[in-house]
Amino acid sequence: MDLERFYIWQDWPADKQKLFFTALVVGWALVLFMIWSGFAESQSKAERITLSSKQKYAKVVPLVEQLKAGESSRGALVDREPMTAAQQVIRDLGLDGRLTSLRPLQAGANSGQGVQVLLESLNLPELVALMRDFNVRGALKVTNFNINHRLDSPELADVQIILVR
């Protein structure tokens, strides 16, 4: 092996050697830039994923807390009479101002084990929360449910609910 011809650029003219080494340095810099930009992009993507995860977590935490609270209060009013349980659910939801009537069922309709509730001006989220709490907290079952739209505001409704245990 001839040590004098070990490097291929030794026989090239000086201007071609200079161009070769310049291209080699630019190529090396380009490779380093590509590696750096790949790392920078992966870091920014990781930050976007982390931010997205935090936003999803922030959306889910209140729901989980509601579920935990619902599970801990499940059947909390089972030991009370249906009328007392219904009153407590309505009071806890802040709907006692909209309560029109709360009375026990007639003697022929399983007296003492059921209640008739009349509420006015409820919106859909309030109605859903009311029905959920009647079932979950009070262990009350809906046997009859009538809903009427209000003429003065169509997004609100009056409801008549018959609950039994």
> What's the domain count of the chain?
2
| Residues 6 or more apart in contact with residue 153 via CB below 8 angstroms | 121
Q: Are residues 87 and 160 in the same domain?
A: yes
Q: Are residues 54 and 19 in the same domain?
A: yes
Segment 106-141, tens digit of pLDDT:
765 555 588 999 999 999 999 999 998 898 888 899
Angle between helices 82-92 and 124-136 (to 10 degrees): 140
Q: Does any domain span residue 28?
A: yes
Tell me, what's the pLDDT at 2? Answer: 57
Q: Are residues 86 and 43 in the same domain?
A: no
Look at residue 165 and tell me whether its pLDDT is greater than 90.
no
Q: Does any domain span residue 20?
A: yes
Three-state DSSP state, 148: strand
Residue type, 149: H
Segment 88-99, tens digit of pLDDT:
999 999 999 999
Tell me, what's the pLDDT at 3? Answer: 55
| Residues 6 or more apart in contact with residue 21 via CB below 8 angstroms | 9
Measured from the Cβ of residue 159, the count of other Cβ atoms closer than 10 Å reads: 20
Residue ending a domain, choose from 72, 95, 111 = 72
Structural domain for 40, as ranges: 13-72
Q: What integer best gives the mean pLDDT of the chain?
A: 88
Look at residue 63 and tell me whether its pLDDT is greater than 80.
yes
Both tokens of 94, joined, read 């802040």
Q: Does any domain span residue 159?
A: yes
Q: In Å, how far from its chain's centre is CA 78? A: 29
Q: Are residues 92 and 148 in the same domain?
A: yes
Q: Are residues 35 and 109 in the same domain?
A: no
Both tokens of 76, joined, read 């909390």
Measured from the Cβ of residue 114, the count of other Cβ atoms closer than 10 Å reads: 21
For the segment 23-27, the average pLDDT, to the nearest whole number, is 96
Q: Are residues 108 and 148 in the same domain?
A: yes
Q: Does any domain span residue 97?
A: yes
